[in-house]
Amino acid sequence: MSPTMETTAQLPGLLSRDEAAQRCAIERIRGGVIVFTNGVFDILHRGHLEYLSAARKLGSLLIVGLNTDETVRRIKGPQRPFFTQQDRALALLSLRFVDGVVLFDEDTPARLIEWLTPHVLVKGGDYQARDVVGYDFVMNHGGRVEILPLREGYSTTGILRSISARNGG
């Protein structure tokens, strides 16, 4: 079974694309606001926690697109991810403000965004709204893109560099 096809049977809250689309459809019927963000979330830190909490406050359902291990290696290099996609998904799903996680194999979440059609697309302050993958799609479907501020001094890459330096690496 491919990583994006894993279902709630393996890990409650880890959703296939179809399961996530169903959750979004139910939320729309209820009149809720669907929020989507994505990332690697390799080592959860305070910056991630504040970001995800703020994202959830923008709507009634927060779905997180999570890069699979293979996409992380393609994007970040062979030493990443530090934690497996299952571990990263479990960490995210342990947060009260994350309602569901969907793994994706593509280098960008564009297809997943189109599949879910969120009302609000969220990224961190290192992006400009127009540069966010999915911007045009979400805007053309009546949604909005929100850029949330980053917490200074918190970055997974920086944390890993610090650990490596402390260990003589």
Query: What are the pLDDT digits (tens) for 114-158?
Result: 999 999 999 998 889 999 999 999 999 999 999 999 877 667 666
pLDDT in tens, 34-61: 999 999 999 899 999 999 999 999 999 9
Cα distance between residue 90 and residue 16, in whole Å: 15
Helices assigned H by DSSP within the chain: 17-29, 46-56, 69-76, 85-93, 110-116, 135-140, 156-166
Q: What is the pTM of this model?
A: 0.88
CATH superfamily, region 3-166? HUPs (3.40.50.620)
Matching residue, tokens 């959750």: 23
pLDDT at residue 153, rounded to an integer:
65
Residue 70 has pLDDT above 70, yes or no: yes
The answer to whether 133 and 109 are in contact (CB under 8 A) is yes
Say if residue 8's pLDDT is above 90.
Answer: no
Residue labelled with tokens 């491919």: 2
Q: Where are the domains of the chain?
A: 3-166
Residue reference for tokens 């979004």: 24
Closest of 11, 19, 53 to residue 151, by C-alpha: 53
pLDDT at 5 (0 to 100): 42
